[in-house]
């Protein structure tokens, strides 16, 4: 009998590494990790066929806590690394995980172009509206009037709207989830993985240390009272006028994902190494 035939069925546990997360007690990222492992069990892709790519931040530690292959790279460059990986190895399931600072500030440019290119990736952003790892600076999604030691009286700067920007840039699947609902988040992530093209899941994930006010999100999050649409303009209008706490799949499009041209000869890693050494 071969290895596949004897393998035990995949469960969330199959995707959990032996490393103990070092997030603060109560951080929303624990639930997101649990949702990612549940989602991978639902889609039943074995850990050796999955790669989780991240940048830098508390949330970007997530790959180490899974049994999948991982790439913990530099701040803001996760999508660039993941795009290259997926184009070179289309048979792999590639997830990208990180924070709002990593993805929308230093990585903002890559976010726009990853949506536009529509390579088959699943991008999970744990949005806590703050830079957690570097101790509480405002991020692109911080509310303009958020008063803190590092931003007395608030920044006064309008927040970035990731979901609408993703739609305008061409993302093929757009959803909002809440870490306080791990099963709902797992179901959304599983749908995102299954959906072809660039899938973007914005998970509201409280930073209990620098944004204790986000504990209120538990009362504010609610299921979106609409079914997903395949019309990006309609989805954008809905998202721009909702209360920011509509949870669910908001857009599921049918753009053809980017892939390399079938039949076109591809350089191997050995070819690239030879070229590099010359
Ligand atoms: C090039 C570079 N610039 C800045 C930093 C410092 N830095 C590390 S993590 C981080 C922000 C993390 O915030 P976010 O991505 O929102 O993740 P969180 O920690 O909130 O999960 C910053 C600015 C860095 N590591 N590298
Ligand atoms: S600082 Fe915030 S984001 Fe980072 S682990 Fe602690 S609660 Fe989570």
Q: What is the pLDDT of residues 43-100, one digit of tens each?
A: 999 999 999 999 999 999 999 999 999 999 999 999 999 999 999 999 999 999 999 9
Contact between 27 and 206 under an 8 Å Cβ cutoff? The reply is yes
CB neighbour class for 10 (10 Å; exposed up to 12, middle 13-18, buried from 19): middle
Residue given tokens 């000869």 in the structure block: 265
Banded model confidence at residue 1, pLDDT cuts 50, 70, 90: very low
Q: What is the pLDDT of the chain when averaged over all its residues?
A: 95
Average pLDDT rounded to a whole number, residues 169-188 = 98
Question: Which numbered atom of ligand 2 lies nearest the CA of 211?
Answer: 2
Give the residue, 269 or 212, on which the prediction is more confident. Answer: 212
Average pLDDT rounded to a whole number, residues 230-251 = 96
The finding on whether 99 has its CB within 6 A of some atom of ligand 1 is: yes
The finding on whether 134 has its CB within 6 A of some atom of ligand 2 is: no
Residue given tokens 């099963």 in the structure block: 183
- Closest C-alpha to ligand 2, atom 5: 23
- Closest C-alpha to ligand 1, atom 2: 75
Q: What is the pLDDT of residue 207?
A: 98
Tens digits of per-residue pLDDT, 96-108? Answer: 999 999 999 999 9
Whether residue 252 has pLDDT greater than 60 = yes
Alpha-carbon distance of 153 to 129, in angstroms, equals: 16
Q: What is the pLDDT of residue 278?
A: 74
- Closest C-alpha to ligand 2, atom 8: 27
260: helix, strand or coil? coil
Q: What is the pLDDT of residue 35?
A: 98
Q: What is the pLDDT of residue 6?
A: 76
The finding on whether 14 has its CB within 6 A of some atom of ligand 1 is: no
Q: What is the pLDDT of residue 270?
A: 83
Among left, alpha and beta (phi > 0; psi -120 to 50; other), residue 36 is alpha
Alpha-carbon distance of 102 to 269, in angstroms, equals: 28
Q: How far is the CA of 205 from the centre of ligand 2 (A)?
A: 10
Q: How far is the CA of 207 from the centre of ligand 2 (A)?
A: 5
Question: Which numbered atom of ligand 1 lies nearest the CA of 102?
Answer: 15
The finding on whether 129 has its CB within 6 A of some atom of ligand 1 is: no
């Amino acid at each position: 009998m071969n290895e596949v035939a004897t393998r035990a069925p995949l469960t969330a546990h199959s995707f959990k590494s032996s490393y103990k997360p070092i997030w603060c007690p109560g951080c929303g990222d624990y639930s997101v990790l649990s949702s990612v492992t549940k989602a991978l069990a639902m889609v039943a892709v074995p850990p050796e066929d999955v790669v989780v790519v991240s940048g830098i931040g508390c949330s970007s530690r997530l790959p180490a806590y899974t049994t999948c292959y991982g790439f913990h790279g530099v701040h803001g460059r996760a999508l660039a690394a993941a795009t290259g990986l997926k184009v070179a190895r289309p048979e792999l399931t590639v997830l990208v995980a990180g924070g709002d600072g990593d993805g929308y500030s230093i990585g903002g440019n890559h976010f726009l172009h990853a949506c536009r290119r529509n390579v088959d990736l699943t991008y999970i952003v744990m949005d806590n509206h703050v830079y957690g790892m570097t101790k509480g600076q405002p991020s692109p999604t911080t509310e303009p009037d958020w008063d803190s030691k590092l931003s007395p009286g608030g920044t006064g700067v309008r927040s970035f709207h990731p979901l609408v920007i993703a739609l305008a840039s061409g993302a093929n699947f757009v959803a909002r989830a809440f870490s306080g609902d791990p099963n709902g988040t797992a179901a959304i992530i599983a749908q995102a993985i299954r959906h072809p093209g660039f899938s973007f899941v914005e998970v509201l994930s409280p930073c209990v240390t620098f944004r204790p006010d986000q504990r209120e999100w538990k009362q504010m999050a609610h299921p979106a009272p609409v079914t997903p649409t395949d019309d990006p303009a309609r989805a954008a209008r809905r998202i721009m006028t909702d209360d920011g706490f509509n949870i669910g799949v908001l857009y599921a499009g049918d753009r053809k994902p980017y892939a390399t041209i079938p039949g076109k000869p591809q350089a191997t890693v050995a070819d690239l190494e030879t070229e590099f050494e010359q």
